[in-house]
Chains A and B, each alone.
Chain A
Amino acid sequence: MISLIANIFTGFVNSLPTTLMEGFVWGILAMGVYISYRILDVPDMTVDGSLALGGIVSAMLTVKGWNVFLTIPIAVIAGALAGIVTALLHTKLKIPAILSGILTMFALYSINMRILGNRSSQSLVGLPSIKDTLAQLLNIPFIYTNLIFSFLIMAGLVALLYWFFGTQLGSSIRATGCNPDMARAQGINTDNMKIAGLALSNGIAALAGCLFTQLQGSADVNMASGTIVIGLASVVIGEIIFNNKLSFWIKLSGAVAGATIYRTIIVIALLLGMPTSDLKLVTAVLVALALSLPLIKKHTSPRKKGGQENA
């Protein structure tokens, strides 16, 4: 018994750098999901496709001999374009948002296969991926360079998004998600704001995909299935832990913290012997529970006086 606990503990400590790295990268995705789901109030399924797109674009450019760091902006642009397609389906063709996202995600599978050259995956073994490049450059094991690199990108993105959503343009996107009538009355072109917001959100998802590929050494057409659920799990776990009335950058960091905690829970569950194939079921239950928490709280806590509705 004691040896079992010791084994699990050792396993956990050994995998900690990788767990944290994955937490940070999923955290980047979670910020993307936060933008669509919380800021724009659009549940955007495109991220499933755009995360894989980012990874695959980056992998294939690496194979073609591009500088690996230059593949990052290209992957981000590819993801942003996917987001724009979803936004155009939704705003110009008036297709419901969730369906627009599903359509783009569906189409992206074929596109991703084409980019991969009709194979389902691409390994970067033996190629100068960011993982190997950085480890050789700094002459330390790649698990540490991966950890530092993913942390820096994540922290930089928190700062960038905090700045952006404080600007006039970013505030207009927030107003569009919060109250489209008010936004239009202030002269904000709500269609354009949705397009910009979904481009940003999917660009960030593609960044996460690109980092997964570059830090783990492979891209796979199925690497991102169910991404939206993991993103949502991260966002809601973050909101439960951090009070959601706090300032914007804390909310963003909350999404990252949520992703890290989510990864930690999963790693512990796997170490405890949970089969990998149960992962999706467990995640779905976790998200459903987290999303219904406000309702559960309302029924279990003593009644408060009115006026809670719009708090």
Chain B
Amino acid sequence: MTTQLVQDPYNIIITGVGGQGNVMASRVLSNMLVSKGFFVTIGETFGASQRGGSVMSHIRVSSQGIWSPQIPKGQAHVVVTLEPVEAVRVLARYGNPSVRVLTNTRPIYPADVIAGEANYPDLSEIKETLGKLTEKSWFIDATDRAMSMGNPILGNIIMIGALTAVGDIPAGREDFAAVISRTLPEGKIDDNMAAFDLGVEMLKKAS
């Protein structure tokens, strides 16, 4: 784990589909970073936008101060996507040749795809696209593993664990433990810690 920012501001995007727990994931990660003494700015929208649409949290980590809640074009350093095609969507605006992308492989099909009016690409196509558009990308079956743990929402925590294992985030397991001990009821701590550790392990295997 690094203690310094590799870039300042360091720009993280967490993206997914309304209802997946995007806001919760960004809140947990940001509180880990605030506890390390960093300034964190989060930009996100919720309300109507969460009804099955694409959602994004922009997280700016800095030792200098507050930044724009919208990341400028082409300035993402790392993208965490809770849903695979959202990775492709987000890079059109925020990607750049040195971006790194961490993707959950479980699709959520858009209404137009379910209705047969649009095509959802195969995972192999998404992998190929991300291969072209990123410096490095990882694919993790986070939701599938979370389901076998008994709750698909833990997929978000698996993704946060995996993100810390990428190496550029100046916060780790202890910070995660400290944040959830403040925000979650006692009975949920063990499952969340297990999910975090699983994410770390899965990223190492995917590398």
A and B: real partners? no
Residues of A whose CB lies within 8 Å of any CB of B are: none
Residues of B whose CB lies within 8 Å of any CB of A are: none
